[in-house]
């Protein structure tokens, strides 16, 4: 089971030059899509796990972009680690360092989408190594 966050992971926020921050959007993150589809081609089951309260907009997004998602789980504002453990996630993709740290405590490897921290690589996915250094 491979899991992906939704907001700012499967979607790509837009940089607001005036405010000097990323604003959420429904723009697709094609780099994440490519990673997701490569796991699907390898026969992996893929789920979306999000802190959202409702999955309605996510279902529309998944259908619009024909993403091979088996299920969507909403944690309703809670950290995702326990849910990821419960469903047997072997690898999770997320934009949040807080989620990555919590996932490490639960033994869930996490890859982080880097754009919030490096505007020049805003569509890249990179390994989140900070977790290992914090807990080793």
Domains, in order of start, for the chain: 2-135 (3.40.50.1000)
Q: From residue 96, how far is each of 7, 18, 100, 107, 121 by CA, in Å?
A: 10, 23, 6, 16, 16
pLDDT of residue 97: 86
Give yes or no for a contact between 7 and 53, defined as CB atoms under 8 angstroms apart: no
pLDDT of residue 126: 44
**pTM, whole model, 2 decimals?**
0.82
3-state secondary structure of 2: strand
Q: Quick one: tokens of 50?
A: 């999000």
pLDDT tens track, the chain, 136 positions: 999 999 989 998 877 788 877 777 788 988 899 999 999 999 999 999 999 999 899 999 999 999 999 999 999 999 999 999 999 999 999 988 889 889 988 899 998 876 654 445 444 444 444 333 333 3
pLDDT of residue 123: 46
Which residue has 């000097």 as its token pair? 20
Beta-carbon-side half-sphere exposure of residue 11 (alpha carbons within 13 Å): 20
pLDDT of residue 17: 81
pLDDT of residue 114: 67
């Amino acid at each position: 089971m491979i899991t992906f966050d939704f907001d700012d992971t499967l979607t790509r926020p837009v940089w607001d030059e005036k405010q000097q921050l990323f604003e959420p959007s429904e723009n697709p993150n094609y780099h994440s899509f490519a990673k997701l589809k490569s796991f699907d081609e390898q026969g992996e089951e893929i789920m979306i796990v999000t802190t959202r309260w409702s999955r309605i907009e996510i279902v529309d997004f998944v259908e619009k972009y024909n993403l091979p998602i088996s299920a969507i789980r909403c944690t309703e504002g809670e950290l995702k680690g326990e849910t990821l453990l419960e469903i047997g996630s072997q690898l999770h993709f997320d934009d949040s360092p807080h989620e990555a740290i919590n996932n490490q405590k639960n033994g869930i490897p996490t890859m982080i989408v880097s754009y919030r921290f490096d505007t020049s690589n805003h569509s890249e996915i990179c390994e989140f190594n900070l977790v290992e250094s914090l807990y080793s």
